[in-house]
A and B are shown apart, each in its own frame.
Chain A
């Protein structure tokens, strides 16, 4: 419990939950890329996930817990950090930090807002029920037609824009977050830190391109129903 009041202790929670969330992001990206195989790819993938039954719920609750801890401590630490400099500089020049590092709380909150929208959209079918699973007919093999739902959604420019904007926030968050988490976990030294900064940025860019390629391909008509 003392750990949850300590400076390093709470940072470790941020880092451990951040690492798990990065893992989730990567797995999610791999899963989503099954859309490039076509309806057969992503509908089979969705069917497979739902066949896991109660495991899906275990997974969802764990993920929610990780997300909750990450957000709670993220906000708490950010508030403490801004309180630590009550009078600001007239002129301050940063030398080493990055835009991503300076905007962690904003990109984090943007991701949170996006996750809420994303769940309302594709999981709960609240925002666009007319083109969602449940209203759409099942596919030829009697599965939920996730493929058609995604394609019809991203053909709407506005929806694609929301997703692309959120992925910019994720890009910035991870461009700092990945190297930061390894430093927090104490796994870096003077030599490996600059290398991990490059790896972190590279992973962030790959995740960005991976996710954004889906709405872009659909808008360009490369993937269509």
Chain B
């Protein structure tokens, strides 16, 4: 019998081998890259000259006082603002190195890749199960009996399966607010997004539901990249890797969450994270 001699793989070979395992290999490490972005509604500038990369597989929190442009910034990333009358943008938003406004970018598949969860739960007027698979059906990702599997998988993923498995065909509006929000999360996850935008996802929920959603968000990385707008500074500290502080349309400061909260460089940031600003 031959002696098996094991040779060490060169770093290059490791990379190549891993490339087959890691679907993200070869892609830019910044899944979303915002460059010199300015946003206006009519004559009013809501976001001025923001440049910020979002690293793949991380959670970024967007904080800032009310009216500072957080929602506007977030809703631009999946082009929800495009149809707002008077909306204009300068600068670029790159998704995997391609501009989200480039002509080769299909709006519908862009929104499939960049999902969104809203401030209040917004289930569709259809059964619980149909809610989960609504996007899957629209994109033709699955059909027939596969839909049942998708529904179960996603409901399990958000921890809702046991609560709703006996009433999949019932109206979603009889679920509690927290359950409805989890349902909407399941619906957003079902189409397999790469990025998930969350605009104050727990502001309408009680503390327990909030905790459930927060815990869930941590399980979604590094498979997904999350960008979360929140007024809840505790939430930002608990869930996010990085934090961005917006003030009057400017990105005043950003950095690793602990650093930004414990040793803010900017006086406005310091006032805000210490609860001294509105």
Do A and B pair up? The answer is no
Interface residues of B (CB under 8 A from A): none
